[in-house]
Structure 1
Amino acid sequence: MAGASRIVGVLVLALAAVSLSVAYAADKTVYQYIIFGDSVTDTGNVFKDGGVPDPAIYFKGRFSNGPNWVDYINETLSSKHKVQIFNYATGGGVACRANLNSTRYPYSRDAVNQTGNFLADLAKGKLPTTKDTRRISLSWFAANDVIVGLTRALTSGADPATAGAQIVADLATCLAQHVATLAGAGVAEVALIPQSPVQVSPLVLDYLRPLVSQLVDAVDGALVKAVEAVNAQLGAAPAGSAASRAHVYLLGDSKWIGRIAPAVRPAFKYISENPCFVNPVSSMVLTPGIKVCENPNDYAFYDEIHPSTTFHKWFALHGLLPRLQLFRLAPRDV
């Protein structure tokens, strides 16, 4: 009887596996990801327009030594599903236009401009839309806003606490407007990646880390309230409208991103203390003569602010993807 039970159990598992494979084979969904953000997310937009970052140092328009998280997510999901990526992120991108240095970096775009480019492409029919299309947006802003806003405050002599509170309030407002615009335009599933823990980057001086850490924590809390408010507005939208069918997902807070680098295996030799190299001007400017380290993937940071491709891979596959799957924003069979 025990042998018969084992046989039945094996048959049940086999039938279940067949049923799942048939279900996935029958899945005709086209996962269309609309992506917004800054240099950590840019897959070549700034390079196409301005020839930066330097191709002698950075990988194919990515601000890293290899593929970035968008590439890794695309590669993984595309292995079993139909995936379309439309990436509007730019190096130097910001959530709030006041933090955009368009004079120094003319190819950078803020969230309003990136969203506008997406809406223009949508209106022109540049984004395929069929009954099988599932349109999901992913936005990752805030690092540049924090850095620019805090630098401006410190260099002008403004009170850091007062300036920090204004940075937090502005970020919450700008990102709420960004996701609400997407929801109102018919993007039913709008995902917001939380503020990155910029306090761990080599760019931030040791004495400033506690201040920046407090600022990042405040942004985390403000985004929770901002997303709750947007979802309440969407819930009150007229029945049948695009907004009434939309929902905004905040994919956690900055702390899970901060746990990525220490979890990478094989372990990084250097996390926040040293980057692979220091760009003395900016990755948005061609700077001849920079010497890159011999083993970039020993470092969590490729330059003083941008992660190495190893970090990007772990962030994508061990951090972001499980959260997308948790909220059913990505298929679970990858």
Structure 2
Amino acid sequence: MVTVADPVDDRPFVWKVQCESSLKPRVKPGDDPETAVAKGWIVARTPGDYEISVLGRMEDGFLQVEEVLSDDPDWSLDQTQPYVHLRKVCRDTLSNRRNGGLYRPGLVRTSHEDSGVYTSLVFDEWSERDHVTRLVIFGDSLSDTGRLKRRLKMVPRPPYWVGRFANGPVWSDYLEVSAQLAVQNHARGGAMATQREPMDSEELIQRIYTNGQFFVSGSITHQIDGYTANDVGDSGVVRADASVAILWAGANDYISKEAFDSSISLLLSKPYAEDGYASIVSKVTDALELNLAQLRELGFKRMMLVNLPNLGLTPMVLQNDSYMVSRKYESEEARLIDFSTRLAELTRRHNQELVTMVDRFLADSPGVEVIVMDADAAFAQVTDPEFGGDILGFDLESRKVQVEFEGREVAIQNQCYSGMTMGVFSPTANVCDEASRAVFWDLVHPTTFFHCWMAYMMGDLMFNEGWIGPMPPLEEYRGWCEMVADAY
């Protein structure tokens, strides 16, 4: 049971409650860039302006809270909804600062003065629940909540939001709040599924300058190895019964070739060649199977694997100038439609082999549950006018680009932000007016509004599996997504 105790200054393992924050990041050419600078972490304070700390112990990389500490005699933590209450405390803490109306809250974490690590909190009440209470996430830029930014200190820059590759929170942020889960996120922008030697920061920065958004930074295996060494150790996961490991990776193994004519052309136009996508897909799914095996050896009993949305419908198709440029197409539209079609074929093959791999893995893993989140189906729902437009609230008309040639056509939702991941405005870079309801933020990354709905679908899948409690009612959830998207 969480108790509110008198503060003891010399007590060991006291962690301060920290609020992630930024100033409102909506920046357009000519605006003061300081309005989008992330302000980092701010210590949570009670209404009486006292700091809040917690006393706890580390468990699987989470801080298991035993006591909540404050000098404020008039404040106590709501023990029925401790995390919800702490989020409100953080909102109030930010709003009470100078220019408080410009601040936008992010995560709620704790930090120890000697470690500098920002750790997710778990409360005793959560551990007594029947459902899962903890998520451990591995992945790439679709899931990164700031790890690449903390490493490089430079990307992604505004108007990207606080290290996310989006214009606001990403799916793990939304799921943490809506499902009241503790989240530990190891995802890093640029990560691949297949093995890749990690680069030092200087080399990685140069690669980003050279290849723009299509860079790589390491592998999922490195993330799991780091989690094992730093958070779990040889004994494995202590609370496997309360935990789910989530893996979402693979896209970078394919789209990192987009910046190079010969690589992307060979990958897609000759699928059964040595460097064609049939071979690469097998390597990617084999690597993900090894990652599942790593997690199984750590003791995880529940895992979620997320497949790929249709890469042929991403804005990078519209901006591509490298695929098969040496071939004489009848028109530029014909080349782009061919590029889109080939990417769609690659996506289907990846997703089909992923299911086959999971079936094979489960046959050799008694007592382990693995579910596949169908991001491809989720994307199809979002871009369907009746469902994505009318029910979910997306603006599917303003950014739609119809590419047509001789009876063939493809409809693609274009990017909202026309700059690069570096976040440096060129004279022509801008943010679209409908950013809060658009599907894509940049060439390959969705908007925060899309992330909000992705979180809902992932939470709903886990609920249907009996892993977590129900998600909020659809209409209520839509209102929340719209409120956040409008604010950020």
Q: 1:25 & 1:134 partners in 2: Cα distance?
A: 7
Residue 89 (1) aligns with residue 228 (2):
no
Aligned to 2:176: 74
Aligned to 2:309: 196
Q: Aligned pair in 2 of structure 1 residues 294, 156: CA closer, same or farther (>3 Å)?
A: closer
Q: Which runs of 5+ in 1 are unaligned?
A: 1-23, 236-244
Q: Aligned pair in 2 of structure 1 residues 301, 182: CA closer, same or farther (>3 Å)?
A: same
Q: Which amino acid aligns with 1:146?
A: Y
Residue 48 (1) aligns with residue 136 (2):
no
Q: 2:461 & 2:197 partners in 1: Cα distance?
A: 29
Identity of matched residues, %: 22
Aligned to 1:161: 271
Aligned to 1:325: 463
Aligned to 1:21: none
Q: Aligned pair in 2 of structure 1 residues 177, 270: CA closer, same or farther (>3 Å)?
A: same
Aligned to 1:37: 139
Aligned to 1:287: 424
- Contact map agreement 1:224 1:250 (CA 8 A) in 2: yes
Q: Aligned pair in 2 of structure 1 residues 101, 209: CA closer, same or farther (>3 Å)?
A: farther
- Contact map agreement 1:200 1:209 (CA 8 A) in 2: yes
- Contact map agreement 1:140 1:192 (CA 8 A) in 2: yes
- Contact map agreement 1:301 1:308 (CA 8 A) in 2: yes
Q: 1:93 & 1:184 partners in 2: Cα distance?
A: 22
Aligned to 2:285: 172
Q: 1:172 & 1:109 partners in 2: Cα distance?
A: 17
Moved more, 201-210 or 38-47: 201-210
Aligned to 2:243: 135
Q: Aligned pair in 2 of structure 1 residues 196, 52: CA closer, same or farther (>3 Å)?
A: farther
- Contact map agreement 1:260 1:315 (CA 8 A) in 2: no
Q: Aligned pair in 2 of structure 1 residues 29, 248: CA closer, same or farther (>3 Å)?
A: closer
Q: Aligned pair in 2 of structure 1 residues 54, 234: CA closer, same or farther (>3 Å)?
A: closer
Residue 117 (1) aligns with residue 226 (2):
yes
- Contact map agreement 1:43 1:61 (CA 8 A) in 2: yes
Structure-2-length-normalised TM-score: 0.54
| Rg larger for | 2
SS in 2 for 1:40: coil
1:16-27 aligned at under 5 Å gives the runs 27=129
Q: Which amino acid aligns with 1:109?
A: G
Q: 1:333 & 1:308 partners in 2: Cα distance?
A: 21
Greater strand share, structure number: 2
SS in 2 for 1:291: coil
Q: 1:325 & 1:30 partners in 2: Cα distance?
A: 10
- Contact map agreement 2:285 2:353 (CA 8 A) in 1: yes
Deviations 1:218-260 (A, max 9, x none): 111101111111111113xxxxxxxxx3222222462333322
Q: Which amino acid aligns with 2:353?
A: A
Residue 108 (1) aligns with residue 245 (2):
no
Q: Which amino acid aligns with 2:256?
A: V
- Contact map agreement 1:74 1:85 (CA 8 A) in 2: yes
Q: Which amino acid aligns with 1:328?
A: G
Offset of 1:156 from its aligned partner? 7.4
Deviations 1:77-117 (A, max 9, x none): 12xxxx21110101111111259877425982311101111
Q: Aligned pair in 2 of structure 1 residues 130, 249: CA closer, same or farther (>3 Å)?
A: closer
Q: Which amino acid aligns with 2:184?
A: F
Moved more, 308-317 or 106-115: 106-115
- Contact map agreement 1:261 1:311 (CA 8 A) in 2: no
Moved more, 299-308 or 49-58: 49-58
Please provide the CA RMSD for this pair: 2.9
Q: 1:117 & 1:179 partners in 2: Cα distance?
A: 15
Question: Aligned to 1:247, which of 369, 375, 385?
Answer: 369
SS in 2 for 1:27: coil
Q: 1:30 & 1:172 partners in 2: Cα distance?
A: 27
Higher relative contact order, structure no. (Cα contacts within 8 Å, ≥ 6 residues apart): 1
Aligned to 1:238: none
Q: Aligned pair in 2 of structure 1 residues 288, 70: CA closer, same or farther (>3 Å)?
A: same
Offset of 1:30 from its aligned partner? 5.9
Greater helix share, structure number: 1
Offset of 1:294 from its aligned partner? 3.4
Q: 1:321 & 1:250 partners in 2: Cα distance?
A: 12
Offset of 1:194 from its aligned partner? 1.2
Q: 1:311 & 1:143 partners in 2: Cα distance?
A: 17
- Contact map agreement 1:143 1:196 (CA 8 A) in 2: no
Structure-1-length-normalised TM-score: 0.78
- Contact map agreement 2:463 2:471 (CA 8 A) in 1: no
Residue 145 (1) aligns with residue 253 (2):
yes
Offset of 1:326 from its aligned partner? 1.5
- Deviating runs (4+, > 6 A) in structure 1? 99-102
Offset of 1:47 from its aligned partner? 1.0
Offset of 1:48 from its aligned partner? 0.9
Q: Aligned pair in 2 of structure 1 residues 275, 107: CA closer, same or farther (>3 Å)?
A: closer
- Contact map agreement 2:160 2:423 (CA 8 A) in 1: no
Question: Aligned to 1:277, which of 405, 417, 421?
Answer: 417
